[in-house]
Chain A
Amino acid sequence: MQFDKPATTNPIDRLKVVGQPVHRIDGQLKATGRAKYAYEWHDPNVPYVYGYPVGAAIAKGHIVSMDVSAAKEAPGVLAVVTALDVGERKKGKFNTAKLFGGSEIQHYHQAVAVVVAETFEQARAAAALVRVEYAEEIGAFDLKDAMKTAIKPKDVGGAPPDTAVGDFDGAFKAAPVSFDATYTTPDQSHSMMEPHASIAVWDGEALTIWTSAQMIDWWRSDLATTLDVEKEKIHLMSPFIGGGFGGKLFLRADAVLAAFGAKAARRPVKVALPRPFMVNNTTHRPATIQRVRIAAEHTGKITAIGHESWSGDLPGGQLETAAMQTRLLYAGENRMTAMRLATLDLAEGNAMRAPGEAPGMMALEIAMDEMAEKLDIDPVEFRIINDTQVDPEKPERPFSHRDLVSCLRLGAERFGWSDRGRPASRREGNWLIGLGVAAAFRNNLLVPSAARVRLDHEGVITVETDMTDIGTGSYTIIAQTAAEMMGVPIEKVVVRLGDSRFPVSAGSGGQFGANCSTTGVYAACVKLREAIAQKLGFNSEDATFENGEVRSGNRSVPLAEAAGSEGLAGEDTVEWAKLADSHQQSTFGAHFVEVGVDIATGESRIRRMLAVCAAGRILNPITARSQVVGAMTMGVGSALSEELAVDVGRGFFVNHDLAGYEVPVHADIPHQEVIFMDETDPYSSPMKAKGIAELGLCGVSAAIANAIYNATGVRVREYPITLDKLIGGLPDVT
C-alpha cells in the first residue's frame, strides 16, 4: 500500500476496538512470570552452556597479546574465543563501534573475548583468568575540550547540520530584549531493566538466535555481516523484550559473542551482558553542550532564535541532533541552528528515547523560561505568542496538525498555573515550592512496515510481523487493529511478533512503531478483506466486516466459513509517499510540574506532574498513558539524578551500574496525570495516529528545571540538577 493521500473514512474509524481502553493481551503472561525473555528459552532437551564476556581494560589502543592458557585449563571451560582469534570483522551498517574482532580497542569494555563453560560460574571464573597486554594510546574523553576541534558533518540523518533564515546576527543585535546562555546535558544510560542477552544455536551453517532486539531485521542483517554468513541462514527471535529505549536498536556484542562461542564450543551458548558491563560496552545518549540565543520585541514576539549544539562520538560516529526541534517549534523571522561533532573515545553515543529532542528540549525550554522572565511575560503566554502553524524555515509547508496552544492552555487551567508566584516566593515549612512549564515536541517519523494476516476455518485471525513489543503494547494495538479491520472480537485475534520469519516491520524506535506497524497490519487486512470478498464473489468495496461476518447486500457469511478448510491470507507493506514533504508532521504537548526544594539540603522532590499531549488518534488510552507516564518518570531522572560520570583521565563511565546511575524509584514519583487531546491526523496514516512514547520525555526535564527555579530563584543550566548545584544559592533557613 502506498500511503500518498491524506486518509479518508476507513474501517478503523468505527473505533469499536481501536481507541478503546483494551487491557494488554500479554498481561497474563507477564503477571505470572511466564513471558520468556531472551535468556530464558529453556528447552530441557537443549544442553545450553554459558558464555561470559571479557571487556577491554583500556579506552583506546591495541591488543598486543592475549594469554588464554589459564582460562582454557580452568574447570568446565569448553572454548575461549578472542578478538584476535576471530580477526577483523566487517562492521554492520548500524553501529559505529566494532562489536568484536581484531586488535584495535575503540573504547573501554569493548568485548575482547568470550569464555564458554559448562556452568555460568565456571565461565565467569575463567573469564577472570584471561590475560591481555595492551598498547595504550591517548584518547579524548572530555567534551568541553574536544568541542574546540569539533567538525561540521556533511549531513545529520538526512538533514543539514546547519540552517539559517533571514539575518540572525543582525536581528539578535537589534532586538530590544535578547538572551544568550549555554546549557549542558550529561551522558545518559538507557538502563532498561533487562540486560542484553542472547542464546545462539548452530545447525551446520544455520544459526538460530534468541535475543533482545528492538529491530529484528537490522540485527539480522548486521549479524550476518559480522559473522560473514548469509542473512537467510539466520533465524532471529525476540518475542519478549525487557525494555529497550533505543539501547536495543542495533546489534550488540552479546549476540556476536554467543554466535562465536557456540560455533567454537559446538554447543548452544547463552550470553548475558553483566549490568556493570552494559554502560561502557553498549551505547548511551551522548552529552551535549548547547548554546541558545533568543531575541524578541517587548510584546514577546521572537525576532531571532538560534540554537547550537556540540556532542561527541567515536570517529565515524554521529552527533546528537539537539538543535533539530528549534527549526520547527517557535516562530521568528531570523533563525539559525548549527550542530557539531567532536571526536571522543568513549563508548558509542547513539539513540536513546527521543534522540535529539530529549536533550534539545532540555536546553531550549529552559531558555524559553529565562527569556519569558526577562520579558516579564508568563512563560505559557510567551510560548503561545510564538506559536506557528507552518514550518518557520519553510513557511510554504504547514504542519499537518498542530495544537500546541490548546495543550498549553488546557494544561495551565487543569494544573492551576495561575497560582504560580515569583521565584522563591512560596514556602511550606522546610519546602520551597515552585511550578514550571515546558512545551513538548517530537517529530512523527514514517517507516515502511509489513505484515501478514491469516484467517482460519475457526474464524481466528493470526497476525504475523517482525514488529517487537518492548513493553509499549505492540501486541495489543496490533490485535486491536486486526480486530477492527476484520470485524471480530479481540479474543479472535492471535498476534505473533519478533521473529525474522515474519514480514519486516517498522520495528520499535523513534516513536514510529505504533503508527507504522499498525498501518502495516491495516494494509495486510485490506488484502485479506479483498481475498475474502473475492472468494465469495463480493465486491470488496462494499463488503462490510462486522460481528465475525462479511456482508454484502443481503448476503452475509461467517468468516470461519469464508475461510474454508484452507484458510485465506493477506500480506502487504505500507510505503510512505512524500506526504511529509508538503506537510510537517510532529507531535506536541505541554508539561507542568510542581516541585518542592528542601531549603536546608537543596534536595528537589517532585510533588505533581501533568502532561497534555496532542499526538493524533490515541490507539489505546491505557497503553498510551502508560508510555507517557513512564517517559515523564524518565524525565525526572534526567532532570534530577541521571548522569554517566566520565573519568576524563582513564576514559570510561565510572558509575556503570544501577548503584551509581540513579533512576527514579517509586518514592520519587508521587503524582502524575496525562490528558490526551481528542484529535486525529489524516496525514500520518490510515490509523490517523502519531507516536507518543517519546513525546512524553521531551520537555519534561526542562519543566522540572523551571519549577526548581521558580521554587528557589536559583537557575541551574547544567543537568542533572543535584543539590550541590542549588545549595549555595538557597535562602537562609530562618
Chain B
Amino acid sequence: MSKMHIKLTVNGKPVELLAEPRELLIHVLREELSITGPHIGCETTHCGACTIDMDGRSIKSCTVFAAQANGANVTTIEGLGTPDGLHVLQTMFKEHHGLQCGFCTPGMITRAYRLLQENPDPTEEEVRFGMSGNLCRCTGYQNIVKAILAAAAELNAVKEAAQ
C-alpha cells in the first residue's frame, strides 16, 4: 500500500513520517514513535485510553487516521510534564490516588488537561460529565474526580497569584 508523507508536531517536536492511509494515529504514535503513554483499550472510541490532545481538542487517537493528523499539533501524556517537573494533574492523580492499574491514566489525565482549559473552574458534576468518555474499570472514579478538582484549584490559585 502506498505511503503518505505526514508532518506533525508531537509534544513540541516536529515529526515527519511515512504512513499508509489505513494506519490509525494511535498505532503510529505507539509503534513508530514509541510514544506508548496513550494506550489501546478498545479501538472503537469507547474507552478513552488512547486520548491525546490534538489542535486544542481531546481526541481519541484510535479513531483518527495518521493522515488526518497531517499538520496537527499533538500532545500526549509524555508532553504534559517531565519526571522532575510533573504537570499539576499528574501530581494530583498521584496524591489523590486517582489510579490503580494505571492503564486508563494517561488518557484520563490528557482529557482532564483539556477539560480544565475548556472549563477552568468546573463543578464536580461538570468534571463527571466532562470525563465520562474515559472509562476506568478499577478506581470507581472518586479519586479521579478529586484529583481533577484539586488540580483545578491549584491552577486557579497560581493564576490568581500571578494577577
Alpha-carbon distance between A27 and B95 when the two chains are bound, in angstroms:
8
Question: Are B99 and A634 neighbours in the complex by a CB distance under 8 Å?
Answer: no
Alpha-carbon distance between A472 and B144 when the two chains are bound, in angstroms:
16
B11 CB to nearest chain A CB (Å): 11
Question: Are A31 and B103 neighbours in the complex by a CB distance under 8 Å?
Answer: no
Question: Are A276 and B44 neighbours in the complex by a CB distance under 8 Å?
Answer: yes
Question: Are B93 and A34 neighbours in the complex by a CB distance under 8 Å?
Answer: no
B4 CB to nearest chain A CB (Å): 13
* A577 sits at the interface (CB 8 A): no
**A275-B43, A667-B128 as given contacts; A193 in contact with B93, CB under 8 Å:** no
A168 CB to nearest chain B CB (Å): 39
* A622 sits at the interface (CB 8 A): yes
List the A side residues contacting B38 at CB < 8 Å. Answer: 33
* B105 sits at the interface (CB 8 A): yes
Instruction: Name, among B83, B105, B142, the residue most crowded by chain A CB atoms within 10 Å (CB to CB).
Output: B142
A589 CB to nearest chain B CB (Å): 15
List the A side residues contacting B81 at CB < 8 Å. Answer: 32
**A37-B103, A633-B140, A666-B127 as given contacts; A24 in contact with B90, CB under 8 Å:** no
Chain A minimum-CB-distance residue to B19: A121
Within B29-76, the residues touching A (CB, 8 Å) are 30-31, 34, 36-44, 46-47, 49, 76
Within A653-688, the residues touching B (CB, 8 Å) are 657-659, 663-667, 669-670, 672
Alpha-carbon distance between A191 and B102 when the two chains are bound, in angstroms:
15
Residue interface mask B101-116, A partner, CB < 8 A = 1: 1111110010000000
Q: Is the interface of B mostly helix, strand, loop or mixed?
A: loop
Chain A minimum-CB-distance residue to B1: A75
* A206 sits at the interface (CB 8 A): no
Question: Are B97 and A243 neighbours in the complex by a CB distance under 8 Å?
Answer: no
Question: Are A665 and B135 neighbours in the complex by a CB distance under 8 Å?
Answer: yes
List the A side residues contacting B1 at CB < 8 Å. Answer: 75, 121
Question: Are B83 and A470 neighbours in the complex by a CB distance under 8 Å?
Answer: no
Question: Are A33 and B78 neighbours in the complex by a CB distance under 8 Å?
Answer: yes
Alpha-carbon distance between A669 and B100 when the two chains are bound, in angstroms:
17
Chain B minimum-CB-distance residue to A44: B34
Alpha-carbon distance between A190 and B41 when the two chains are bound, in angstroms:
13
List the B side residues contacting A37 at CB < 8 Å. Answer: 39, 103
Question: Are B139 and A32 neighbours in the complex by a CB distance under 8 Å?
Answer: no
Question: Are A32 and B42 neighbours in the complex by a CB distance under 8 Å?
Answer: no
B48 CB to nearest chain A CB (Å): 9
Question: Are A274 and B100 neighbours in the complex by a CB distance under 8 Å?
Answer: no
List the A side residues contacting B138 at CB < 8 Å. Answer: 192-193, 243, 471, 626, 630
B55 CB to nearest chain A CB (Å): 20
Question: Are A32 and B97 neighbours in the complex by a CB distance under 8 Å?
Answer: no
Question: Are A666 and B129 neighbours in the complex by a CB distance under 8 Å?
Answer: yes
**A40-B30, A666-B131 as given contacts; A275 in contact with B102, CB under 8 Å:** no
* A586 sits at the interface (CB 8 A): no
Question: Are A243 and B103 neighbours in the complex by a CB distance under 8 Å?
Answer: yes
List the A side residues contacting B86 at CB < 8 Å. Answer: 28, 31-32
Partner of B99, one of A30, A36, A121, A666: A30
Question: Are A192 and B101 neighbours in the complex by a CB distance under 8 Å?
Answer: yes
Question: Are B76 and A28 neighbours in the complex by a CB distance under 8 Å?
Answer: no
Alpha-carbon distance between A627 and B1 when the two chains are bound, in angstroms:
47
Alpha-carbon distance between A470 and B20 when the two chains are bound, in angstroms:
35
Question: Are A245 and B137 neighbours in the complex by a CB distance under 8 Å?
Answer: yes
Question: Are A240 and B132 neighbours in the complex by a CB distance under 8 Å?
Answer: no
List the B side residues contacting A241 at CB < 8 Å. Answer: 101
List the A side residues contacting B41 at CB < 8 Å. Answer: 193-195, 242, 275, 658
* B5 sits at the interface (CB 8 A): no
List the A side residues contacting B132 at CB < 8 Å. Answer: 665-667
Question: Are A35 and B102 neighbours in the complex by a CB distance under 8 Å?
Answer: yes
* A629 sits at the interface (CB 8 A): yes
Chain B minimum-CB-distance residue to A43: B34
* B94 sits at the interface (CB 8 A): yes
List the A side residues contacting B95 at CB < 8 Å. Answer: 23
Question: Are A630 and B139 neighbours in the complex by a CB distance under 8 Å?
Answer: yes
Question: Are B104 and A193 neighbours in the complex by a CB distance under 8 Å?
Answer: yes
Question: Are A26 and B46 neighbours in the complex by a CB distance under 8 Å?
Answer: no
Question: Are B128 and A666 neighbours in the complex by a CB distance under 8 Å?
Answer: yes
* A82 sits at the interface (CB 8 A): no
Question: Are A622 and B97 neighbours in the complex by a CB distance under 8 Å?
Answer: yes
Alpha-carbon distance between A663 and B132 when the two chains are bound, in angstroms:
11
Question: Are A28 and B94 neighbours in the complex by a CB distance under 8 Å?
Answer: yes
List the A side residues contacting B31 at CB < 8 Å. Answer: 119-120
Question: Are B136 and A193 neighbours in the complex by a CB distance under 8 Å?
Answer: yes
Question: Are B37 and A34 neighbours in the complex by a CB distance under 8 Å?
Answer: yes
* B23 sits at the interface (CB 8 A): yes
9 A-B pairs closest in CB distance: A33-B37, A471-B101, A30-B102, A242-B103, A471-B100, A629-B140, A33-B77, A633-B140, A33-B106
